[in-house]
Structure 1
């Protein structure tokens, strides 16, 4: 069966829909059937996760909708507009399920709110039989005078194709501009001046081939300051846990750069900024540690048999109470004079033309410096890794993990100097090893925290005994997983140190190897 046609027109500037109706009335009877004014609020995560997947989420009246850019509905649920949505705020069902994998721990926050006025008309012949439908739509940004041009949609009725074509032709003759069905949200974003995908979690700084070390450090670190300042309001407002996560990554990368390049940076300034950014890392750490536990709550509970799950509720209740206190402390530190002074002094050091950052030996070519430093750090990492054996203590693996993380950051700082495909491939090999070391470290930290919690129990009532049993059971499960991950290190490390992986790195920096 032939699909019914639809045409979409935009009215010319200054022309009202009445002018079009006057033209249509010479051939048809035009009669309004419905009129509706509705509100619609569009949401996305701070890093535009839905937009990146060509999806749109919005609230309208008492319902929530997830659609594709082309308007095709993916899922919906009942619910009213709110300040933000997590996937777990939405009733169980298809929409909840879809959002869980799409946005994970991020919050959906309002980006645009519009008021839509829709009028529907029946286009009838002189026998008053409906031969076409026409919808006039007016989208207005809330609390502004801005809106999209008034739009007219013409819908074909089966058996009246000629009449449909006549209506379409008369729209054209009155100067209506026929447009292809475009993404409504995209047009609204353009109208509002918002730039979708203006933030992502991937670090990227483009460095020029002839750039000096000082200039490169300045560009890299100012980019990291931008990341801190971008995420700062979200941390303070406690919108979702990823703001603090991304803030801490920017701090950690800054600390790594200061450590990796301490031999070439001005000594006095390097020591001072290392100390201050170490402080910043320490005051943001406790809240992030709690967030990790709360985000993994479901996974922890799934590790336990049903008989022990109830006892763990005490642990998570305590964590949530502790989180409130840690948040207040962090809000104080990130609003303090010390924090403001650190960023201001750091930016001055990175930007002032008279800064020691731009003096010798930082005036040497950065590409040459990066080549030699990458080779040295890689060899140092491999030497440390070769010393790991079955008898190595956990702390040795922890130190190797830190060394590997610094090396990966080094590659990311200077990746624009190198062949993109080669760098991406090498970083994938690196990630496998880092995932193994990271998981091993996380499991060790988790066991220590739970062990401390268990050691601190004093009461002997039934509730405490159930809590102790749950803690003990979880520690045992984590210890078993830890042994498994530890046993996988040797094969993972051997895979990373294969000759072809080392040759891949050397081919990228072949000028100085």
Structure 2
């Protein structure tokens, strides 16, 4: 990809900035009495790093690409289980409203078992964040990207950087168009999930490099992206919740009557189908 190496200094700066945001959150993401959104913020920062690195892979020499990608992936992977538990437990009240009154005690026992697992996962994450392996991995990543970084302002008028960013935006939009066409053709769930991911990548790209272009150039595209992501995110939430119910049912105490499970699954499946129809309608309206 022509011009892509010119992006390396500002790209490195942006990634190092996100990694430092992660470091600032380390002491609170798994602490007792924590705000669960802190872990979410940590994961979003890592997601931005991974997305930007993937969009400009050739900005770095081949020997570094795989190591950097794997390092960021490991950091994100070790937080995923706790985040799933956090989200599921936050839906307790909603699920209570979905089941018959006589099933609520069983539902509460189910959530009690999940809450106990959440505490275990939080303790494990806290241990991981305090480990030598984690601290070394994070330090090496920060040092690498800081070494290669340069202030974004220094690259503001660099024509090669702008060309590389414009090319990345065009590639990402082309990828989104291909996925959109596939969804309109057969509406497969896997493609809808992939569209959500690619929208996020485009959003992170515009947010990171929008400063290079005229003021407000990307205000409307970003507004539209956030709007489209909302429905896609709700669809994904339903899929994740259905998978979580299946996975977490193994934690259910033996004395719990599992009758409420079918009710939750039915409600979530119905909601997901409605969202799928809405997504198809939104995409058709854009065509």
TM-score using structure 1 length = 0.50
Note the C-alpha offset of 1:487: 0.8
Q: 2:26 corresponds to which residue?
A: 232
* 1:344 match: 139
Deviation by residue 1:197-241 (Cα, 9 ceiling, x = unmatched): xxxxxxxxxxxxxx9412211220121022111111112434311
Aligned to 1:325: 120
- Secondary structure (helix, strand or coil) at the match of 1:488 reads helix
The alpha carbon displacement at 1:300 in A equals 2.1
Cα distance in 1 between the residues matched to 2:122 and 2:236 = 25
Q: Secondary structure at the match of 2:58?
A: coil
- Residue-pair matches, total: 275
Shift of 1:381: 0.8
Are the structure 2 counterparts of residues 351 and 317 from structure 1 closer, same or farther at C-alpha, using a change threshold of 3 Å? same
The higher radius of gyration belongs to 1
Q: CA deviation at 1:484?
A: 0.5
Counterpart in 2 of 1:84?
none
Cα shift at 1:303:
2.5
Give 2:231's aligned residue: 436
- Superposition deviation, residue 476 in structure 1: 0.7
After TM superposition, the structure 1 stretch with the greater mean CA deviation from structure 2, 313-322 or 262-271, is 262-271
Mapped pair 1:264 → 2:59: yes
Partner Cα distance (2:165, 2:59) in 1: 12
User: Contact 1:408–1:427 (CA<8 Å) still a contact in 2?
Assistant: yes
Greater share of residues in helix: 2
Equivalent residue number for residue 154 of structure 2: none
- Give the secondary-structure state (helix, strand or coil) at the position aligned to 1:235: coil
Q: Secondary structure at the match of 1:217?
A: helix
- The answer to whether residue 256 in structure 2 is matched with residue 464 in structure 1 is yes
Offset at residue 307 of structure 1 (A): 3.3
Report the equivalent of 2:280. Answer: 490
C-alpha distance 283-373 of structure 1, shift in aligned 2 (>3 A): same
Higher strand share: 1
Give CA deviations for 1:98-141 in whole Å, capped at 9, x if unaligned: xxxxxxxxxxxxxxxxxxxxxxxxxxxxxxxxxxxxxxxxxxxx
Q: Which residue of 1 aligns with 2:83?
A: 288
Going from structure 1 to structure 2, the CA distance change for 1:229 and 1:454 (only over 3 Å counts) comes to closer
Q: Is the 8 A contact 2:95 2:264 kept in 1?
A: yes
Residue pair 1:436, 1:492 contacting (<8 A) in 2 also: no
1:403 alignment partner, one of 198, 204, 215: 198
> Could you state the TM-score of these two structures normalised by the residue count of structure 2?
0.87
User: Any idea what SS the aligned residue of 2:28 has?
Assistant: helix
- Residue 249 of structure 1 corresponds to 44
2:268 is equivalent to residue 474 of structure 1: no
Structure 1 residue 222 corresponds to structure 2 residue 16: yes
1:79 is matched with: none
Q: CA RMSD in A?
A: 2.4
Partner in structure 1 of residue 179 of structure 2: 384
Q: Which residue of 1 aligns with 2:153?
A: none
Judge conservation of contact 1:378–1:407 (CA < 8 Å) in 2.
yes
Unmatched segments (≥5 aa) in structure 2? 151-157
Distance 1:420 1:220 in 2: 19
CA distance in 2, matches of 1:339, 1:255: 17
Aligned partners of 2:251, 2:28: CA distance in 1, in Å? 34
Q: CA deviation at 1:308?
A: 2.7
CA–CA distance in structure 1, aligned partners of residues 24 and 134 of structure 2: 15
How many angstroms does 1:445 deviate by?
A: 1.6
Deviations 1:363-408 (A, max 9, x none): 9832221111101211111111111147443222212221221121
Q: CA deviation at 1:447?
A: 1.0
